Structure 1
Amino acid sequence: MSVSNQPGGEPATQLGTVRVGPEEDAAAEAARQAAASKEAADTVMQAFGGVRGMVDMTLPGLVFIVTYNITHQVSAAAWAALGLSGLFVVARLAKRETVQHAFSGVFGVAIGAWIAMKTGKAEDFYLPGLLWNVGYCIVFAVSALVRWPLIGVMLGAVTGEMFTWRRQNPGRLAAYVKATWAWVVIMGIKPVILFPLYFTHNVNLLGWLKVALGIPPMLLAMYVTWQILLKAPPPIKAQLDEEPEEQPAGADRS
């Protein structure tokens, strides 16, 4: 703001452009990056189906063990769990929601129910899930070792960065590797605890612990991932190839 004298001798004020110093620029950029990192971190729950997705995959196991304790029949318990999984899919379809996690739950329950009814052993209902947990941890560990962390692969499509973290954002690649290892460690707790129980044929203890270890470890893994991504560099959005501009009619195409 500058001051000048008018012909009558009275001072007049003239507003000038407010200039922002480098400190303000740096603070604004830091705030922008922090907001972008938080937005990206908040996509963790969305990518894994949220609480609803975890419930869809956990409740059938609870229904199985409750029904088995009431009826003492493997087939009745298996059909009850499978029926609940089917209801979850129908409910999501009716609401036009994503059925990815509900369908994965039905698939796992169907295999477990089929094996349990074939062998007549209630503990076999949980065998596919235990094997899935082991395979899950192995695949995640391998992806981290080869620097293609699955957490980055899964979240890239949600955040819009796709695979820019692979070559353009080394800090984010390191964060995804760290988060993937966190999932290996946390989710690896389940098979370490449950597999020995499977071989003891203690169906009740196996079933109740399977339910108890369903949601809490996933929530913990999501929280740890959220904390890691909160401190990571913000994602670099993937740039789609621009389509060539259309030439006006009658333009020279030579």
Structure 2
Amino acid sequence: MSTSDDASAAPDADHHALAEALHLEGGTGRPGDATTEQLMANAIGGWRGLIDGSLPSLVFLVVFLVTGQQLMPAVWGAVVAGALIAVLRLVRRQSLQQVLSGFIGVAFCAWFASRTGNAEDFYLPGLLINVAYGTALAISCLVGHPLLGYAVGAATGDVTGWRRVPEQRRAYALATWFFVAVFAGRLLVQVPLYLAGAVGALGTAKLFMGWPLFALAAYLSFRVITRARREAPVPELEPEVEPASD
């Protein structure tokens, strides 16, 4: 999941590291020993991931407004910003996974807006991704299989163990609803702005409703999940006893 709201930059970089972003400490992170902090830490990518994901969209908005709402300079500004971030990370020998995914997202959004000729379409892919993520997460909760539980379970090496503990099932469901609320809130505010063609207001709303809201949901999820895992851990499975041979 994932995942800040700069879907135009990543599509929705909602989706990579909370420990660094919230200054939390973790354990080894090995299967079976990953702490909740580290698991949630992969949600937004820390401060570096937040900046990398937000900068191209910010450049697009600023250039669009400064140039008197000229689309192509804004499009190229966003693409160049994404490319410069990728080069900087490459020179510093840092992970390019998020940067490359973000650059591809920026390039696609820029191409799409240039094809339609509408600046607001730069943000349309991000809105559609919010619909997809929000819908998938909501459905997973409604059917009793919150996706966040499986994500954390996979990271700990026990994909379904949490389902044996009612407290953990409730915690993962609540945590997943936190993210549903983020995606739904973005859509409620940003879709009317998109339909009105209010590019300045839309871009500003995406920045303020992007990683800050995502980080808040991740933090609340961390608190809820940590408490459940601490107070109601997954019980060890009893080893199967082989029948004695005659």
User: Aligning the two structures, in what range does the TM-score lie when normalised by the shorter sequence?
Assistant: 0.7 to 0.9
Aligned pair 1:128/2:125, yes or no? yes
- The one-letter code sitting in structure 1 at the alignment partner of 2:157 is E
Q: Which residue of 2 aligns with 1:151?
A: 148
Give the one of 205, 218, 227 matched to 1:222. Answer: 218
Aligned pair 1:204/2:193, yes or no? no
- Relative to the length of structure 1, the TM-score reads 0.70
Aligned pair 1:190/2:186, yes or no? yes
Q: 1:81 to 1:178 in 2, by over 3 A?
A: same
4+ runs deviating over 6 angstroms: none
- The one-letter code sitting in structure 2 at the alignment partner of 1:77 is A
Query: Does the aligned pair in 1 maintain the 2:56–2:82 contact within 8 Å?
Result: yes
Matched residues, number:
203
- Relative to the length of structure 2, the TM-score reads 0.72
Q: Which residue of 2 aligns with 1:232?
A: 228
Q: Secondary structure at the match of 1:106?
A: helix
Q: Map 1:84-99; keep pairs closer than 5 Å.
A: 84-99=81-96
Q: Could you say what the CA RMSD is over the residues aligned between the two structures, in angstroms?
A: 2.8
State the structure with more CA Rg: 1
- 1: CA distance, partners of 2:236 / 2:94: 26
Query: Does the aligned pair in 1 maintain the 2:140–2:146 contact within 8 Å?
Result: yes
Q: 1:156 to 1:167 in 2, by over 3 A?
A: closer
Give the one of 115, 119, 125 matched to 1:118. Answer: 115
- 2: CA distance, partners of 1:238 / 1:157: 17
Aligned pair 1:67/2:63, yes or no? yes
Q: Which residue of 2 aligns with 1:138?
A: 135
Residue by residue, what CA displacement relative to the aligned partner does 1:22-43 show, whole Å, maximum 9, x if unpaired?
A: xxxxxxxxxxxxxx99932453
- 2: CA distance, partners of 1:170 / 1:98: 38
Identity %: 38
CA drift at 1:190: 0.8
Q: 1:85 to 1:51 in 2, by over 3 A?
A: same
Q: 1:236 to 1:99 in 2, by over 3 A?
A: farther
Residue by residue, what CA displacement relative to the aligned partner does 1:8-54 show, whole Å, maximum 9, x if unpaired?
A: xxxxxxxxxxxxxxxxxxxxxxxxxxxx9993245313333223222
- The one-letter code sitting in structure 2 at the alignment partner of 1:194 is Q
Q: Which residue of 2 aligns with 1:39?
A: 35
CA drift at 1:170: 4.0
- The one-letter code sitting in structure 1 at the alignment partner of 2:182 is I
